[in-house]
A and B are shown apart, each in its own frame.
Chain A
């Protein structure tokens, strides 16, 4: 599903985000990415979602070469990749419902169809009763779950989560991880960047350790 072949990312200032990464993630797999701050975790995820282009090597996602994908196809690629961020990236002036409905509007779903799918997604993350709330009125864990509902409402084949539990207490973190496990169970290829080694170790999944832009250990 995701194939890195000697991929490097060099920024305009000459800094390397990633150096010669080789990595293969099969369809339906789930893996963690760890490493110190600045190791390149976010950079790796950004390349998969085409928020940045690799400067060297070949990155294939879902059969397509990320270096060569024309700009106009980037939106269609991103629809295959659900993204979750530590800072949630919700629209604070829109209700929970509207936040989760945005990816459906983007693909032109009818309001009726949207309604069903938004509620199904909110139900899965346990926020059905909060659909009318504004994000600011929710707790950090709840906001993160809104982000998860938004990332998965269109059922993308790939899910990327960049430090999704960064601000949460251990119990909430575990709940969020359990959600990811459940989605992975139904076939979503899942990649999670996290510092939380204690939690990762409980879950018994492959861990990719980055160090200064290179893979230190798998």
Chain B
């Protein structure tokens, strides 16, 4: 039995390397089909992480009138911290805002051309844990009545929009993953169908000398698994390279929002999912094809 598995693997490998270019093309197509949903899912996880962080971070921003100087702003900030339902406040002076803008916008030089700092002082107000949206709403209207206040912003709507967007995107990703899994099964099935056709006479003769269905089927199953495995391996590499490419813009995002985005391009956990998934899909493609085609080849 062990001998027969060794033989089957040898034949499967032999077939793969017989026409290396054609095999490589097939593996590449499989890799792309597997990499696409894997990349999408990785990005979605990232997006979901970000929105969940943002939706917990319920911050009210109060922009101050231009005539409020830094000292008065600091005082105001301390006063607001005492209001019921407020956990803490942070003062961002116009100088802070300018430095941040300079760092991330890339318009630093343009800013230098201005005589005055156009950015206002503002106070970030973090409501306490227990405050619900209504309480925050009241707080916002109260803050808006303060004489120093220019504009008070509390916008959860966009977080909700983002949420429903990622929800939709996740469904799309799931459907895409399913469709591409079916495509992988069909591509491998078709490759094996051609393999069976080229080995028609060998199958016939093997039947003549008493080869069982299992013996005849085995090399094709290994071929399917080998294609699935190779496609998954290359697919993982593709995902990894793509994410690596996104790493540096994402890093900027991390600094900007002071969060950590756990993006690990060469994620071994992803590999641990992709490899068995690819191998199984390959086997499924092989089983389906072999089941339909081998029985029709009988010795003359």
Residues of A within 8 A of B (CB): 49, 51, 72, 75-79, 83, 89-91, 102-103, 105-111, 150
Contact = CB atoms under 8 A, between A and B. Distances in A.
Interface stretch (B119-127, B164-172, B210-218): B210-218
A108 B210 contact: no
Contacts of B161: none
A111 B210 contact: no
B210 A89 contact: no
Interface string B58-72: 000000000000000
A107 B214 CA distance: 12
Contacts of A103: 209-210
B293 interface: no
Interface string B1-29: 10110010000000000000000000000
Contacts of B212: 72, 75-76, 106
Interface in B192-225: 201-202, 204-213, 215
A75 B207 contact: yes
Given A91-B202, A91-B205, A106-B215, A75 B210 contact: yes
Interface residues of B, number: 20
B209 A78 contact: yes
Contacts, number: 55
A69 B57 CA distance: 75
Contacts of A102: 205-206, 209
Given A51-B299, A106-B215, A89 B4 contact: no
Contacts of A106: 206, 209-212, 215
Contacts of A49: 208
B209 A79 contact: yes
Which 7 pairs show the lowest CB-CB distances between chains A and B? A79-B210, A78-B210, A103-B209, A75-B212, A106-B211, A75-B210, A108-B3
A156 to B, nearest CB: 9
Interface of B: 1, 3-4, 7, 201-202, 204-213, 215, 298-300
Contacts of B299: 51
B214 to A, nearest CB: 9
Nearest to A49: B208
A105 B1 CA distance: 10
Contact of B208 (A76, A78, A109): A78
Given A103-B209, A108-B3, 19 more contacts: A51-B208, A75-B215, A76-B210, A78-B207, A89-B204, A89-B205, A90-B205, A91-B201, A91-B205, A102-B209, A105-B3, A105-B4, A106-B206, A106-B209, A106-B210, A107-B210, A109-B3, A111-B3, A150-B209
Contacts of B205: 89-91, 102
A207 B105 CA distance: 101
Nearest to A76: B210
16 contacts: A75-B211, A75-B212, A78-B209, A79-B210, A83-B208, A89-B204, A90-B205, A91-B202, A103-B209, A105-B3, A106-B211, A106-B212, A108-B4, A109-B3, A110-B3, A111-B3
